[in-house]
Structures are given as C-alpha cells and as structure tokens.
Amino acid sequence: MGPKDSLAVARERFLELMRDRYACKLYDPARPLDDAEVRFILECARLSPSSFGIEHWRLFAVRSPSAIALLADACLDQDAVRTASLAVVAATPTGTAFAPDSALVRQRGSRFPGGLDVFVADYRGYYEFLSRNGLVDHWARAQCYIACANMMTGARAAGIDSCAIEGFEDERVLAAVGLKSGPWQTGIVTVFGHAADAAPREKIRMPLDEIASYL
C-alpha cells in the first residue's frame, strides 16, 4: 500500500468517526467515564484553535451528581444533561476582558513569537472592529463551539458518546459553576457518557451538492 492509499484509508476512518458520532440524549449511569477519559476530553478542548490563539474559554468539568443536577436544571431540564457522566461548561469572560491592554490579552499575547507588542499591533485593529460592531461577546462565544466540536469528535474516537447543549439559561449555568453573570458568559455546554439507548438514528444530512459550491 502506497502513501496515497494509506491517506485514503485515514480519510475514510475519520469520516467513519464523523458518521458514527451522534447527539446522544440519554446516558447509562452504570457506565461513568473515568479520570483518564475526562482528561482526554479536556485535552481535546485545550488543543483546539481559537481566534488569535487567545483560548477564550474557561472549562469546568462537572461530574458530581449534585453539580450535574444543578446544571440540568439550568439546561431546561434536559435528560441529556441530567443523565450525563460529564458535562463540560465552556465559559468566557466578556467585553473589555479582551481589550488589547487587558490582563488576559497581555498573558495570552506575550506567549507568541515576537512578544506582546507584536501581538497587540496585530490584534488591536481586529478587537476595535469587533468592539465597534458590538461583536466581542459573540466572537468569544463562537470560539467555544470549536472546542465543543473537537471534544465531541475526540470523544467518539475514544468510544464515548456526547451531545452539544445550547438549550440553557446563561445565568443559571454560570451560577452552577460558581461564576457571575456580567464579567462571564456561558459559551456552550457539552455532555458526555455512554449511551443508554441502543442504536443511533440514521444520519440526517443534506447531500453535499446542495450545500457546497465550487467556485
């Protein structure tokens, strides 16, 4: 088998993973995730890309039954949350936390080649564009969806089921993880575990030709 063949195999394997992952709405309490699985999922989030490499998220791995119950209440009482073995809350700071002279941007920006000044010279214009258009919080939240997708795909590769949870009350989710609304917002919640229900339903997706164009 040549390099092209093995790449074709790798592509097919990855697509198989994407086809297998589905939004699991009910988890088996008898099969909780272990510490290594939880760390693996968090590592998938940590390695995710983010705009300007800022890593906007603060991650909360919620596992204790009482904290999960509180979170489920904050997520419109969804069974997917109530039965989950792990819920990862990705929260982000809001607004001026992302200003070019903020502590957060200084910390994150100074890690890059060239140092903070080079980083800020590049970043300032984009931040001002977002700020002028009232988009800073939206931008920060959007980054969490990338971490969420990577955690879900990674989980599937490790035989773990998952579901993204957008049905939540922001303030109550924040309270459940000990954060204050205002300086913080919920990005997204993602739940994990082993499915309690058997076969996933058929994948429902539009044909590629209807959703993609080649220009």
Ligand X SMILES: Cc1cc2nc3c(=O)[nH]c(=O)nc-3n(C[C@H](O)[C@H](O)[C@H](O)COP(=O)(O)O)c2cc1C
Nearer to ligand X, 25 or 58 (CB): 25
Min CB(168)–ligand X separation in Å? 7
In the complex, least distance from residue 170 CB atom to ligand X, rounded to whole angstroms: 13
Closer CB to ligand X, 38 or 163, in the complex: 163
| Closer residue to ligand X in complex, CB, 22/119 | 22
CB atoms within 10 A of CB 2: 7
Of positions 147, 151, 165, 195, contacts ligand X by CB under 6 A:
165
The H or E element that residue 190 is part of is strand 184-193
- For the bound state, the minimum distance from the C-beta of residue 213 to ligand X, rounded and expressed in Å, comes to 22
Kindly tell me which of 109 and 193 has the beta carbon lying closer to ligand X.
Answer: 193
- Nearest CA to 73 among 185, 192, 168, 182? 168
Strand arrangement of the beta sheet that strand 184-193 belongs to: 58-62, 86-93, 184-193, 161-165
The 116-155 contact track toward ligand X, x by CB under 6 A, reads: ----------------------------------------
169: which DSSP letter? -
Asked if 105 and 99 count as a contact pair (C-beta separation under 8 A), the reply is: yes
Q: Would you say 27 or 127 has its CB closer to ligand X?
A: 27
Asked whether the beta carbons of 164 and 148 are under 8 A apart, the reply is yes
Within residues 74-113, the interface with ligand X by CB under 6 A covers 78, 80
184 is a contact residue toward ligand X (CB under 6 A): no
CA separation for the pair 164, 186 (Å, rounded): 13
**Size of residue set near ligand X by CB under 6 A:** 11
67's tokens: 């904290």
Task: Report the C-alpha gap between 145 and 151 in whole angstroms.
Answer: 10
Q: Positive or negative CA dihedral for 69, 70, 73, 74? A: negative
Contact (CB, 8 A) for 127 and 136 = yes
Nearer to ligand X, 54 or 190 (CB): 190
Smallest gap, in angstroms, from Cβ of residue 46 to ligand X? 20
DSSP state of 203: P
Among the listed residues 22, 123, 127, 139, the single contact to ligand X using CB under 6 A? 22
* Contact with ligand X (CB under 6 A) among 43, 117, 166, 197: 166
What residue ranges bind ligand X (CB under 6 A)? 22-23, 25, 78, 80, 163-167, 203
